[in-house]
Amino acid sequence: MTAVEICLCILLVAGAFACICLGILFIRMLSTLDEANSSLREMNRAIDKANHTIDDLNYKLKLMNAPIEKVSGLFDHKSNSSFLGRTLSMAGAYRAGKKRKK
């Protein structure tokens, strides 16, 4: 066996070892990606559940807010559409008219 044949054998063994190492690396990467994919699916499910819960809370808060808005609309002095606002504006106009007549 010549030195060239020995170098070729060493090169062939090194290439085979490199291919085996790359294969093992790719198998580990594939299993890691599969675990990451399943983790992302579970995280997506948890986020969907949280979004559903938040949507339910927002809906219930809107339902609770409607009566409060109606009650606060009665006492809103700036709004002319509320009962108290219309009454106060009419009373103000009546008083202003009385002052002008004097």
Quick one: pLDDT at residue 21? 97
Give tens-digit pLDDT for 47-100: 999 999 999 999 999 999 888 877 776 666 665 556 666 677 777 767 766 666
Note the pLDDT of residue 80: 52
Q: Which residue intervals of the chain are DSSP H helices?
A: 3-74, 83-101
What is residue 72's predicted lDDT score, i.e. its pLDDT? 76
Give the separation between CA 92 and CA 98, rounded to whole angstroms: 10
pLDDT of residue 71: 75
The pLDDT of residue 12 is 96
pLDDT digits (tens, 9 = 90+) for 12-58: 999 999 999 999 999 999 999 999 999 999 999 999 999 999 999 99
Decide if 89 contacts 80 (C-beta within 8 A). Answer: yes
In this prediction the pTM is 0.50
* Rounded CA separation 41/95 (Å): 69
